[in-house]
A and B are shown apart, each in its own frame.
Chain A
Amino acid sequence: MAAGAILEIRGLAKRFRARAPGAESPWIIRDLSFSVREGELLTIVGPSGAGKTTLLNMIAQTDTASGGEVRFRAQVAPLGDAKALRPGLSRQIGYITQDDNLLPWRTCLGNVLFPLEVQGRLDGQTRARAQSLVEAVGLAGFENHYPHELSGGMRKRTSLIRTLVYDPPVILMDEPFGAVDAQTRALLQADLLRLWGEGRKTIVFVTHDIAEAIALGDRTLVLSRAPASVKSEHLISIPRPRDIGGILTRPEFVTLYQAIRAEVA
Chain B
Amino acid sequence: MARRSEVETGGAVPAPAAQRRSQRLDQALELVFLLALWQVLSLWLGTYWISSPLATLAGLFRGLASGELLLHASYTAGEAAIGFLVGGIPAAALPFALRRMPVMTAILDPFMVGGYGAPKLALAPLFILWFGIGIESKVALVGVTVFFIVYFSTLSGIRALDTRLVQMAQVMDANEHAVARHIVFPGAVPYIFTGLRIAMPYSIGGAVIAELISANRGLGYLVQLRAMNYDTTGIFVALAATTCIVFLGNWLVNALERFLLRWRPPADAMLQADA
Contact present between A and B (CB < 8 A): yes
Which residues of chain B have C-beta atoms less than 8 A from A97's C-beta?
164, 168
Q: Which residue of B lies closest to A63 (CB)?
A: B167
B259 CB within 8 Å of chain A: no
A117 and B170 alpha carbons, distance in the complex (Å): 13
A87 CB within 8 Å of chain B: yes
Q: Which residue of B lies closest to A116 (CB)?
A: B172
A103 contacts B165, CB within 8 Å? yes
B170 contacts A114, CB within 8 Å? no
B182 contacts A119, CB within 8 Å? no
Among the listed B165, B182, B263, which residue makes an inter-chain contact with A101, where contact means beta carbons less than 8 Å apart?
A: B165
Which residues of chain A have C-beta atoms less than 8 A from B165's C-beta?
101, 103
A103 contacts B182, CB within 8 Å? yes
B171 contacts A105, CB within 8 Å? no
A209 CB within 8 Å of chain B: no
A114 contacts B182, CB within 8 Å? yes
Chain B 157-192: CB-based contact to A (< 8 A → 1; otherwise 0)? 000000011011111111100100011001101000
B171 contacts A146, CB within 8 Å? no
A166 and B262 alpha carbons, distance in the complex (Å): 28
Q: Which residue of A lies closest to B164 (CB)?
A: A101
B173 contacts A90, CB within 8 Å? yes
A97 and B166 alpha carbons, distance in the complex (Å): 13
Which residues of chain A have C-beta atoms less than 8 A from B269's C-beta?
148
Which residues of chain B have C-beta atoms less than 8 A from A39's C-beta?
none
Given A101-B165, A103-B165, A148-B264, are A93 and B172 also a contact pair (CB < 8 Å)?
Answer: no
A148 and B263 alpha carbons, distance in the complex (Å): 8
Which residues of chain B have C-beta atoms less than 8 A from A241's C-beta?
none
Majority SS at the chain A contact face: loop
A233 CB within 8 Å of chain B: no
A60 contacts B263, CB within 8 Å? no
A95 CB within 8 Å of chain B: yes
B265 CB within 8 Å of chain A: yes
A99 CB within 8 Å of chain B: yes
B173 contacts A119, CB within 8 Å? yes
A91 contacts B186, CB within 8 Å? no
Which residues of chain A have C-beta atoms less than 8 A from B183's C-beta?
103
A119 contacts B167, CB within 8 Å? no
Q: For A104, A117, A146, A163, which residue has the most chain B Cβ atoms within 10 angstroms?
A: A104
Chain B 187-223: CB-based contact to A (< 8 A → 1; otherwise 0)? 1010000000000000000000000000000000000
B171 contacts A118, CB within 8 Å? no
Given A101-B165, A103-B165, A104-B263, are A60 and B171 also a contact pair (CB < 8 Å)?
Answer: yes
Chain A 99-120: CB-based contact to B (< 8 A → 1; otherwise 0)? 1010111110000001101110
Q: For B164, B170, B172, B186, which residue has the most chain A Cβ atoms within 10 angstroms?
A: B172
Among the listed A88, A107, A148, which residue makes an inter-chain contact with B172, where contact means beta carbons less than 8 Å apart?
A: A88
Q: Which residues of B pack against A, CB within 8 Å?
A: 164-165, 167-175, 178, 182-183, 186-187, 189, 261-265, 269
Pairs across A and B, CB under 8 Å, 16 listed: A62-B170, A62-B171, A88-B171, A88-B172, A90-B173, A91-B172, A94-B171, A95-B168, A99-B164, A105-B186, A115-B173, A118-B182, A146-B262, A146-B263, A148-B263, A148-B264
Q: Which residues of A pack against B, CB within 8 Å?
A: 60-62, 87-88, 90-91, 93-95, 97, 99, 101, 103-107, 114-115, 117-119, 146-148, 163, 166
